[in-house]
Amino acid sequence: MLIAPVITAIALLSSPVASARPDPLQALADALVARDPAIPSVVMRAVSPSAGIEWSGAAAGARETGPKPLLERPFRIASTTKLFVGAAVLRLVEDDRLGLETSLEGLVSASTLEALRRGGHDPGRITLRHLLSHTAGLPDHTQMKAFPAAVTTDPQRRWRRDEQIALAMDGTRPVGQPGETWSYSDTGYVILGEVIERRTGQSLAMAIRTLLPLDQLGLADTWFETLEPPTRAGGSPPRLAQYLGDVDMTAADPSFDLWGGGGLVSTVKDLTIFMRAMLDGKVFRHPETLQLALAAPRPVKAGADTRHGLIFFHDRFAGHECVGHPGFWNVDLVACTDLDLVLAVSLNQPITRQPDERRRLVTDIVTAAGKPR
């Protein structure tokens, strides 16, 4: 369904940039931090070459006391990392090193298989497709009551992958049978992180950097925190402050969200470059892989505009069909192919005065981009 718009968007990438459009993003950023003091900062970037759009905006609230310019500073992108992890798995599929219908037996450690069986799951029936598309029937360790309490009580705790998998399995039952029910699961992507490491023989950070053209694309400020050094020569600027309500989580050990479900830090510039590269055929070897990544979205709940395909969320903003992936800190990376628009935002705070603040912001940006020139 989305293949034709994607091809159209790719063709537009090489078209001459039209006359510049007025940039509304700074006003949006200023207004947002002014009305919600819980938000430490807002950073955003939107690019549409065919519409002459290269917009950016950033504003600091009282809780962000670090250096400017804010737009150059990286931040934890949380679950938006799943786009990178999913793309890496699809690269392994392209190279015939993995198969989407391959079951987990033989792909993960004996301890992971044991944990899955303890949780009532049959690893022989769970495939990589199920894990990528959140249809494996796995619970989500981040939704266990013990997890957020443990993270905020001891923010310097160094979490291991097997601890998080065990937390999701102990005392729980399957959400549904494989392929039967859509249910978002960080645990599934933590297991995919293990699959990537075991199949490549590399650390997750090194495998992602080997499988995806991060360096070739010039993503100078995108890396797996504590798993590899910052990639910019001389080091990246300090990360933006990120809060969980009133709790400053900036210095928390990143291992609570590191092993595939999250873990990357990045900037709005790097994120928009990566998304555009995916749509431009610069991440996968074959166009069919992008089509596969975009295909077959299913509703995340009855009557919802939001759907999920193999690795992308599909949604409608201001009447436009868009794809992307959000992250815990009110991060979002979105592409609206009919507008040739890619945008990235981060509010650096999951708990905002308006619970849908990120969605409203994305909608405002898409609306502005879609106005006639």
Q: What is residue 373's predicted lDDT score, i.e. its pLDDT?
A: 78
**Could you tell me if 64 and 171 are in contact, meaning their C-beta atoms sit under 8 angstroms apart?**
no
pLDDT at 275 over 80: yes
Q: Tell me which residue of 274, 304, 153, 142 sits closest to 209, measured CA to CA.
A: 274
Between β-strands 243-244 and 247-248, what pairing exists: parallel, antiparallel or unpaired? Answer: antiparallel
pLDDT tens track for 229-242: 999 988 899 999 99
Q: What is residue 353's predicted lDDT score, i.e. its pLDDT?
A: 95
Q: Tell me which residue of 249, 221, 229 sits closest to 72, measured CA to CA.
A: 221
Query: What integer is the mean pLDDT of 243-267?
Result: 97
Model's pTM, two decimal places? 0.93
pLDDT at 316 over 70: yes
Percent of the chain with pLDDT over 70: 95
Q: Across the beta sheet with 320-327, what order do the strands follow?
A: 53-60, 41-48, 341-346, 331-336, 320-327, 313-317, 307-308, 298-299
Q: What is the spatial distance between Cα 232 and Cα 54, in angstroms, rounded to a whole number?
A: 23
pLDDT at 185 over 60: yes
Q: What is the spatial distance between Cα 367 and Cα 21, in angstroms, rounded to a whole number?
A: 13
Q: How far lies 367's CA from each of 342, 344, 361, 363, in Å?
A: 13, 15, 10, 6
Q: What is the spatial distance between Cα 45 and Cα 269, in angstroms, rounded to a whole number?
A: 7
Q: Which two tokens stand for residue 203?
A: 């650390």
pLDDT at 11 over 70: no
What CATH number is given to the structural domain containing 173? 3.40.710.10
Q: What is residue 15's predicted lDDT score, i.e. its pLDDT?
A: 41
How many contiguous H segments (helices) and E segments (strands) does the chain have? Answer: 12, 13
Q: Which two tokens stand for residue 367?
A: 């609306």
What average pLDDT is seen over the chain?
Answer: 93
Q: What is the spatial distance between Cα 197 and Cα 194, in angstroms, rounded to a whole number?
A: 5
Contacts of 38 (CB under 8 A, 6+ apart): 61, 243, 245, 246, 349, 351, 352, 353
Q: What is residue 19's predicted lDDT score, i.e. its pLDDT?
A: 46
**Could you tell me if 134 and 128 are in contact, meaning their C-beta atoms sit under 8 angstroms apart?**
no
Host domain of residue 335: 3-16+23-370
User: Could you count the other beta carbons within 10 Å of the beta carbon of residue 149?
Assistant: 10
Count how many domains the chain has: 1
Q: Which range among 21-25, 74-78, 208-212 shows the weakest confidence by mean pLDDT?
A: 21-25
Q: What is residue 319's predicted lDDT score, i.e. its pLDDT?
A: 95
pLDDT tens track for 21-37: 889 999 999 999 999 99
Q: What is the spatial distance between Cα 255 and Cα 139, in angstroms, rounded to a whole number?
A: 19
- Residue scoring higher pLDDT (203 or 295): 203
pLDDT at 47 over 80: yes
Q: What is residue 233's predicted lDDT score, i.e. its pLDDT?
A: 86
pLDDT at 13 over 60: no
pLDDT tens track for 88-129: 999 999 999 999 999 999 999 999 999 999 999 999 999 999
Q: What is the spatial distance between Cα 189 and Cα 257, in angstroms, rounded to a whole number?
A: 11
13 — phi, psi (to 5°)? -60, -30
